[in-house]
Amino acid sequence: MGRVLFSIVLYCSLVLLFDPSFSLPLCSDSTATFTLNTTLEFCPYNGSVCCNSTEDLQLQKQYHAMNISDPSCASVVKSILCARCDPFSAKLFTVDSTPRPVPVLCNSTVSANSSQSNQAATNFCSSVWDTCQNVSFLNSPFAPSLKGQVGVPLDSNASKLTQYWQSETDFCNAFGGASGDGSVCFGGQPVTLNNTGTPSPPHGLCLEKIGNGSYLNMVAHPDGSNRAFFSNQPGKIWMATIPRQGAGGALELDESNPFVDLTDEVYFDTIFGMMGMAFHPNFSQNGRFFASFTCDKVRWQGCTGRCSCNSDVNCDPSKLGPDNGAQPCQHQIVVAEYTVNGTSSQPSLATSAKPTEVRRIFTMGLPFTSHHGGQILFGPADGYLYIMTGDGGGRGDPYNFAQNKKSLLGKIMRLDVNSIPSTEEIDKLGLWGNYSIPNGNPYKEDTGLQPEIWAYGLRNPWRCSFDSERPSYFMCGDVGENTYEEVDIITKNGNYGWRVYEGPNSFSPPDSPSRNTSPNSISPILPVMGYYHSDVNKKEGSASITAGYFYRSMSDPCMYGRYLYADLYATALWAGTETPENSGNFTTNKIPFSCAADSPIPCSSIHGSSLPTLGYIYSFGEDNSKDIFILASSGVYRVVSPSRCNYTCSKENVTVVVSPGPSPSKSHASHLSDPYNSLVLMFSTLLLLLLGFL
């Protein structure tokens, strides 16, 4: 009991020491930044920005309307207005979820934990006061509101700062702030972050084989235990117990006794089948879970839905013709809801589920027989269901579905599956099933576009994940066409370029019935990581990305915080390192990998190579201990301590180990960097002394 209590108290102390807040390029309206080829005419921003030319002109008009007579003050105010264009404007203009009329003005030196550059060390707030305190100008953004809070008053006449604020201290208490760990402040110029150099990549990734089965999906049990769900492409889901590392055990999974068998509904073929599963955030209380799969309306009468090739998107299914022997929209994407068996008050104890749909959430017919996407997952911060769809197939996305916001192909959708509208409302809103549109979806109020869309411009997203420590890092791999495989940070209303771009490169689609999208008409978000096909297969040039997770386990401390992804053909694994942290700037390294000699299930090796025979890497998984798993055609593999494969990791022997309780939860212990080790050890000693007196 004392050991468990110590673990809990130490965990809580570590949470206090390591605030998970962060700074990520994001605009003040919660949309993604975009790239400009030229500098804005009024505001001195280029590259990644939050303003287009129209917004730049609006800021210029606002500035001229102020009629500032003093040139020095005018220059300062202009820079503050233009901070709206800064790629970090979301952080600059929002504090504690409250919007601000001006950015946080740097008013102290940079803290030791700051990732912001030394420009933040300037006491810019003091400089604004000194420069503008006695200058009159109209419509001052520095005036307090009628309620005494920061904001523009209803009656904005010519004013001086001294008319609103008694002193510099009062002024900077309202508008100032310091750059700290996870925050930024405005110092008069575009925000930049320190670049302290890229850490050395891990020497290698050590794997152990714990299962022989071939699975497409893995989801940790929502109850926080050492159980997880695994599903295969034909349509079965199993519940398994994951052995403790070092115990020498294999995955406890009974292939003959699935948790649920949906093979009667699922159409399984090479590129068809069950593509995703998701368990409701409150599964332990309500027993609700969801499956995403493809069906065939020729084989199953329950396979019915609207065709994605329709007049709204200038597509006529009668003109498509058969594809690989299938008629247009013969195959459908289905997302359906199910529930566990029994009437127990604790659904988390259930060991089986009913194979009958509780509710059909979503159905959409597919124009071609490839690029279906199909993964589903719940957002950890908002509780909404995200659905990933490909462009529907065809060479070069012939109907340009991915760029068309009237189409749900090539998209990431966000749905509310807790608020189910009536049949009349569904018909009126033109929804594709039983769900509601969450507030905040970018096109919810636009009746001409699809309100389900969260992001668009994807070819075939294959495996997405939310960072368990920073939920706004929503990462997706997108399969390329001819040359490039990419990893993207997904943001609200983000356009990821396909079919105008393939990765960072422009793409010229072949002749097609649909009008091309001009590169000058979009602001694509370029990938943060990726690789060229020739990097993994110089002869054939074939490749297909399988995206993974940010590594947050304590098993391999040298991998901690890096993003892991692979190629389908299992010849390469990459670790993406963000430098500086929370900047959105990544460098990648291909890392060697091997199998531990003491693996519970022996691994075979590729002939003439030291690489283990993984076959195809279908997917990655993460359990409740944050260990990462590789789901391959040859079995289930877990990332373990590097020393078990004789890889060197200087952090492995100094990492503080916290003994997990009965139900593993988030662990931050392996995040400890060297400067904090002594502090954590001091906390550990104090806590032990404290517990000795309880």
689, two tokens: 């002394």
Residue boundaries of the structural domains of the chain = 24-95+123-186, 211-645
pLDDT for the residue numbered 408: 98
**pTM for the full predicted model:** 0.80
CB 353 within 8 A of CB 338: yes
pLDDT for the residue numbered 490: 97
CB 585 within 8 A of CB 688: no
DSSP secondary structure string for all residues of 18-29: S---------TT
pLDDT for the residue numbered 111: 58
pLDDT for the residue numbered 541: 67
CATH of 211-645, one of 2.120.10.30, 1.10.600.10, 3.40.120.10, 3.60.20.30: 2.120.10.30
**Number of H-type helices and E-type strands within the chain:** 11, 33
- For 409-424, write each residue's pLDDT tens digit: 999 999 999 999 998 9
pLDDT for the residue numbered 651: 86
**Rounded distance between C-alpha atoms, residue 92 and residue 398, angstroms:** 41
633, two tokens: 């055609």
CA-to-CA dists, residue 16 to 469, 661, 668, 677, 678, angstroms: 14, 20, 10, 15, 16
Peptide bond just before 580 cis, omega within 30 deg: yes
**Rounded distance between C-alpha atoms, residue 215 and residue 210, angstroms:** 13
CB 49 within 8 A of CB 41: no
Q: Which residue numbers in the chain have pLDDT < 50? A: 1-22, 146-156, 654-694
Nearest of 126, 161, 119, 127 to residue 144 by alpha carbon: 161
33-71 in b/e burial notation, b at 16+ Cβ within 10 A? Answer: bbebeeebebbebeebbbbeeebbeebbeebeebebeee
Helices assigned H by DSSP within 356-449: 423-429
CB 498 within 8 A of CB 569: no
**Rounded distance between C-alpha atoms, residue 385 and residue 464, angstroms:** 13
Say how many C-beta atoms besides its own lie within 10 A of residue 537's C-beta.
14
**Rounded distance between C-alpha atoms, residue 567 and residue 569, angstroms:** 5
- Single-letter amino acid code for the residue at 447: T
**Rounded distance between C-alpha atoms, residue 151 and residue 160, angstroms:** 15
Which residue in this structure is represented by tokens 């589920």?
Answer: 353
Say how many C-beta atoms besides its own lie within 10 A of residue 511's C-beta.
7
